Amino acid sequence: MAMVEAELMEEVAAWRRAIHADPEFGFEVQDTAAFVAGKLRSFGVDVTEGVGGTGVVGVLRKGNGPLRIGLRADMDALQITEQNVFDHVSRRPGYMHACGHDGHTAMLLGAARILAREVDFDGIVTFVFQPAEEHGRGAGAMIDDGLFERFDIDEIYAVHNYPEWPLGTLATRAGPAKASEDNFEIRLVGKGGHAARPHMLNEALVAGCQLVVALQTIVSRRADPLEHAVLSVTEFVTDGIRNVLPGNVTIRGDVRSFTPKTQELVEGQIRQISAGIAATFGLTESVDYSHEFAATTNSPAETERAYAAARAVRGMTLVADCPPVMASDDFGLMLQHRPGNYAFLGNGTDSYPLHNPLYDFNDRAIPFGVGYFVELVRQFSAG
Ligand SMILES: [Zn+2]
Ligand SMILES: [Zn+2]
């Protein structure tokens, strides 16, 4: 690596640690957005702030060619109390960058600087910094605010740091890379009362237990075995106490899958089984079912571009056609509007897991992530 490049990487690592020390949550990423906007302006990038609340969009134009590429990073942290003790530990109690979005933001800034100052391309590169990835609202807010109308983006790319992959690895695939996430809430309502007199009541707990068991049959007996799906009941809440049978049961859970067809099937089955069990036990029921994250589905041509870019980065190991994961990313919604690719960037196998209070983005991944973004743009210049 050239000396000047090594110096820049050290600077990017310093930005990363500064962002890590000042984690912000959801749409409330004002400090991070201001930091991003300031850096982009200092590189000569045109900056629009406040896109979808606190999103930042940077536009870099060179020449009049047809290139219209978008590169996206997420800026938000998590509501987790950090347990690390290093110098750049979170200065905001109860918040930390436990998903490495500090690294994503810093790496995209590093790429912006190299593309602005050192790389020739012919067209427009758009840098998209989104808020509120973790709860899956930021991408939609930016899209609703005209991300793809106000800015010229024909295809869009993102990376996520990943502890399971060795340092220097870029792993991706065509087709589904990350799952959709849906949530459900089922309410059963009967008549609660004295625990010694169930025959005088219509309590909801036993029916609720049967419902939890019946829900387990949706993936095992109804979903196509070749379509991946996970249905997890995560909460069972009643208004019963020691000697009172509950009249109300609320069951909540989480569904992951890769296709709208499976999402529809699971939702339909949850509604049918809930209605059936409620009818069997003479209860009333209601079901709320919400789509929280779209599946992240990579398009084939752009994935080939991602493969080529990864091969061009010095020292990078490409894992093509990697396995998908059942976690979700808000970037999936952007891929419903434009073709593109989402890739996993190795954070090292000695890394703590994502969302762990001891997590820290690996600064040694920075040259790979920055290099990958730069090479994505260079693919076009190479024709
Ligand atoms: Zn996360
Ligand atoms: Zn994340």
Q: Are strands 317-320 and 169-172 parallel, antiparallel or unpaired?
A: parallel
Around Cβ 148, how many Cβ atoms within 10 Å?
16
Scan for tokens 């296709």, then name that residue.
259
At residue 180, the pLDDT reads 97
> Nearest to residue 151, comparing CAs of 42, 60, 29, 35?
60
> How far, in Å, from the CA of 85 to the mean position of ligand 1?
21
Class of domain 3-177+295-381: alpha beta
Would you say how long the chain is, in residues? 383
> How far, in Å, from the CA of 291 to the mean position of ligand 2?
18
Q: Which of 133, 181, 302, 330 is an active site residue?
A: 133
How far is Cα 165 from Cα 297, in angstroms, rounded to an integer?
20
How far is Cα 317 from Cα 168, in angstroms, rounded to an integer?
6
CB 335 within 8 A of CB 299: yes
At residue 3, the pLDDT reads 53
> How far, in Å, from the CA of 265 to the mean position of ligand 2?
28
Domain map of the chain by residue range?
3-177+295-381, 180-291
102 is annotated as an active-site residue: no
How far is Cα 358 from Cα 355, in angstroms, rounded to an integer?
8
Residue 194, burial from CB neighbour count under 10 angstroms (0-12, 13-18, 19+): exposed
How far is Cα 76 from Cα 24, in angstroms, rounded to an integer?
6
Which residues make beta-bridge pairs with 293? 181
- Per 3-state DSSP, what percentage of the chain is helix, strand, and coil (rounded to 5)? 35, 30, 35
Structure tokens at 259: 């296709």
CATH number of 180-291: 3.30.70.360
Which listed ligand is nearest to 102 at the C-alpha?
Answer: 2
Instruction: Write the DSSP string, 285-325.
Output: EEEEEEEEE--EEE-HHHHHHHHHHHHHSTTPEEEETPPPB
> How far, in Å, from the CA of 57 to the mean position of ligand 1?
21
Whole-angstrom CA distances from 154 to 66, 149, 346 are 10, 11, 27
- Which residues hold their Cβ within 5 A of ligand 1, which is an ion? 99
> In a 3-state reduction of DSSP, which class is residue 159?
strand
> In a 3-state reduction of DSSP, which class is residue 164?
coil
At residue 383, the pLDDT reads 45
> How far, in Å, from the CA of 355 to the mean position of ligand 2?
8
CB 267 within 8 A of CB 289: yes
Structure tokens at 23: 């984690």
Which ranges in 77-204 belong to alpha helices (H)? 101-117, 138-144, 147-150
At residue 164, the pLDDT reads 87
Q: Which of 76, 102, 134, 329 is an active site residue?
A: 76
> Nearest to residue 82, comparing CAs of 65, 97, 70, 102?
97
87 is annotated as an active-site residue: no
Mean pLDDT of each 10-residue bin along the chain, 383 residues long: 77 98 98 98 98 98 95 98 98 98 98 95 97 97 98 98 96 98 98 97 98 98 94 98 98 97 97 98 98 97 98 97 97 98 97 97 98 94 57
Which residues make beta-bridge pairs with 56? 49, 129
> How far, in Å, from the CA of 192 to the mean position of ligand 1?
40
